[in-house]
Structure 1
């Protein structure tokens, strides 16, 4: 019953009837894994051959720039699907590192079973399309937003555009010179604006690490 409830709570299976869920559980192979705190769940570059669900616990998501010159760390909580868009398309590899914050329960469903289920259950197919479409829309939306007309706005836009979620704690590891390069500002201007944001209690920065406790307040 506990597994049934957890499955029903995941975005992919929401809206299915009790009969549908019972049929899916009876006809689908589920793989279950436990990860202790600080253990790696998935690595950047690892092939994505199954859909992985975080059923319980919290995890850190670390995303690196292509040259690994800076990184952004965020926190996710169950229920959560680990990069479902990477199961299909041109690049079928994970682009984040997922590391357990607490003990995490992970459930996996093989790609072939996902394809079978989306063929058999229309609601599940619509759910998957909605999940992938939402991720795509979020990824492209910020490109069309007006460019900030001040130094603070440029820094905040850079920080926000690199995060998967607009809320919660974020840890950005980036050198001052790289942040200046990315925002088109001088190093002195970047330092000045970060100090101002820190004085207002919006972030803390030191030695190449910017910590934002509540991204929604920035």
Structure 2
């Protein structure tokens, strides 16, 4: 309550289909998704494939982008349902971090967890077989390794990323589809449950 009395907080309701932030937008505030469903989109640097994720869990939109060398969002967040958000501008975040040790510790813990997870992924042994390489390729690009995913990518681009042939990728994807772990459409790979894909192949 003390923070709410001293710091101006912005509570908002956004309707379905609203872009909250876009990839490469400047991050000038902390945005908290309090309820509702959000789609998260990430395009590759070469713009030759992209990943969509969906989440209905409470979420802070990329707090690591608020300070540091690069202060731009690396993903686009779009509402899939009506959502309630809390917006705290950068100056207010500085004040909260300075005056409230509990918030400061929680914020540092959140950033530390993200750095540690990213560092752990970098040193994970490369998979020797193709199914595991595909799962690692997908999971390493996810914001969270759970829920629905959609990878928009050509067969040839995926083959290049996995260091194999287009034929091998086609056989792999058809096998995963037969197991019910993915669904295939033209240049789209749907994963109904990332958890099931991980349990089935890792």
TM-score after normalising by structure 2: 0.94
Separation of aligned partners in 1, 2:138 and 2:94 = 36
Residue 52 (1) aligns with residue 43 (2): no
Separation of aligned partners in 2, 1:102 and 1:96 = 18
Relative to total residues, which structure has the larger helix share, 1 or 2?
1
Residue 187 (1) aligns with residue 166 (2): yes
2:85 to 97, 106, 111: 106
Separation of aligned partners in 1, 2:78 and 2:70 = 21
Separation of aligned partners in 2, 1:183 and 1:167 = 22
2:3 to 18, 24, 28: 24
Instruction: Output one character per residue of 1:136-170: Cα deviation in whole Å (capped at 9) or x when no partner.
Output: 11222122111111111111111111111111110
CA offset at residue 81 of structure 1? Answer: 0.7
Report the counterpart of residue 131 of structure 1 in structure 2: 110
CA offset at residue 78 of structure 1? Answer: 4.2
Report the count of equivalent residues: 197
Worse overlay, 56-65 or 33-42: 33-42
User: Structure 1: which 5+ runs fail to align?
Assistant: 1-21
2:187 to 198, 202, 208: 208
SS in 1 for 2:25: coil
TM-score after normalising by structure 1: 0.87
CA offset at residue 215 of structure 1? Answer: 0.4
Instruction: Output one character per residue of 1:149-202: Cα deviation in whole Å (capped at 9) or x when no partner.
Output: 111111111111111111111011011000001010100000001111111111
Separation of aligned partners in 2, 1:70 and 1:140 = 24
Worse overlay, 135-144 or 83-92: 135-144
CA contact (8 A) 2:149 2:192 kept: yes
Worse overlay, 71-80 or 82-91: 71-80
Residue 122 (1) aligns with residue 101 (2): yes
Separation of aligned partners in 2, 1:152 and 1:76 = 25
Separation of aligned partners in 2, 1:34 and 1:200 = 40
User: Structure 2: which 5+ runs fail to align?
Assistant: 198-202
The residue correspondences of 1:29-44 to structure 2 (distance < 5 A) are: 29-44=8-23
